[in-house]
């Protein structure tokens, strides 16, 4: 079994124009370097990203089938308080994700994206959990709050009560007004230490700058896990075999039971398509045991998502 622990939908109206325009500067730069092209940010949006639009995730299912991915965790990001509200409000986006997961029952699990400072957030998340069947939280502290600030406590308390995980952005961000420092793994680690009954997933395993910090948190705290999304980009840049060496070190320090296969599609999949990213992990050499590969590809995710409960 293979589980993609981290994916976003591409649906018109779910992301603010200010974010799209700024992010395209970073993403087009990365895309051009990886693919030896020279697209402008505008061309990247029009010629690359718009082709990924998939309102009902039907194309994602086709892609999952081709890559051998059985299950995908999907969620939005709540940027509204920083960039202004998008045409589709985050409350409605969460319902959209829940409906898409219902459309593809057994293939997708929806998390609820929320800024904990948002008015009406608790009531909304209670509805999303109890009525829509959403199975986790998604936080992006870069929008302007600190992960260990009391404003976040209600999220951690509900995650503990409902026994659902919290997906936390850790690492860098594109050319927009997000607060990089708020997404350091250490700050979420402090929150995780105070809420040992809640499982924290450090998205991107801290990224290329803070992965040692994320690794340290996962090695110390029983309730901290790392998803390996966004690492398609450094994988493409590394010399042959270097990613596998890095992953071996990470596994040695944390255990395979703390690591999860993930993509963060759509953008990273443009650097390394889903079937190829899957092959990186299914093709890991003899330095990884069959049990370790199984844990990274699905076992850890099954535990965190409580699929075997």
- Position 223 pLDDT exceeds 80: yes
- Bridge-partner residues for 93, per DSSP? none
How many domains are contained in the chain? 1
Q: Where are the alpha helices (DSSP H) in 114-152?
A: 121-130
3-state secondary structure of 255: coil
pLDDT at 177 over 90: no
pLDDT bin (cut points 50, 70, 90) of residue 232 is: very high
The domain of 7 spans: 3-305
Query: What sign does the CA torsion over 271, 277, 281, 282 have?
Result: negative
Tell me, what's the pLDDT at 229?
98
- Tell me which residue of 254, 251, 246 sits closest to 221, measured CA to CA: 254
Interval 99-144: pLDDT, tens: 999 999 999 999 999 999 999 999 999 999 999 999 999 999 999 9
CA separation, residue 291 to residues 287, 294, 299, 302 (Å): 12, 5, 9, 14
Specify the pLDDT at position 245: 97
Q: What is the pLDDT of residue 21?
A: 86
The SS3 assignment for 109 reads strand
d(CA 106, CA 103): 9
Say which CATH number the domain at 158 has. Answer: 3.20.20.140
How large is the average pLDDT for residues 24-40?
A: 92
Tell me what pLDDT residue 93 has: 98
> What pLDDT sits at residue 276?
97
pLDDT in tens, 49-72: 899 999 999 999 999 999 999 999
Whether this prediction's pTM lies above 0.85 is answered by yes
- More confident call, 159 vs 50: 159
Residues paired with 191 in a beta bridge = none
Mean pLDDT of the chain: 96
């Amino acid at each position: 079994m293979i589980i993609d622990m981290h994916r976003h939908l591409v649906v018109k109206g779910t992301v603010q124009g200010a974010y799209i325009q700024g992010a395209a500067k970073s993403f087009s730069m990365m895309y051009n370097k990886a693919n030896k092209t020279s697209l402008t940010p505008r061309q990247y949006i029009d010629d690359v990203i718009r082709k990924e639009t998939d309102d009902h995730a039907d194309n994602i299912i086709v892609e999952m089938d081709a890559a051998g991915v059985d299950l995908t965790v999907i969620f939005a990001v709540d940027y509204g308080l920083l960039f202004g509200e998008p045409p589709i409000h985050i409350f409605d986006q969460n319902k959209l994700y829940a409906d898409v997961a219902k459309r593809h029952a057994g293939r997708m699990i929806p998390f609820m994206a929320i800024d904990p400072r948002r008015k009406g957030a608790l009531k909304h998340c209670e509805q999303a959990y109890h009525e829509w069947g959403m199975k986790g939280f998604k936080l992006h502290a870069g929008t302007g709050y600190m992960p260990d600030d009391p404003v976040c406590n209600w999220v951690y308390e509900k995650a503990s009560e409902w026994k659902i995980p919290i997906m936390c952005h850790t690492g860098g961000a594109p050319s927009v007004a997000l607060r990089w420092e708020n997404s350091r793994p250490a700050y979420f680690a402090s929150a995780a230490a105070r809420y040992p009954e809640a499982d924290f997933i450090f998205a991107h395993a801290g990224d290329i700058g803070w992965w040692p910090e994320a690794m340290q948190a996962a090695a110390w705290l029983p309730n901290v896990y790392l998803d390996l999304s966004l690492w398609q980009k450094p994988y493409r840049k590394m010399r042959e075999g270097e990613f596998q060496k890095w992953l071996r070190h990470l596994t040695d320090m944390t255990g395979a039971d703390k690591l999860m296969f993930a993509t963060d599609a759509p953008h990273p999949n443009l650097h390394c398509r889903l079937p190829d990213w899957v092959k990186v992990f299914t093709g890991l050499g003899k330095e990884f045991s069959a049990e370790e590969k199984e844990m990274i590809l699905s076992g850890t995710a099954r535990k965190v998502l409580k699929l075997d409960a």
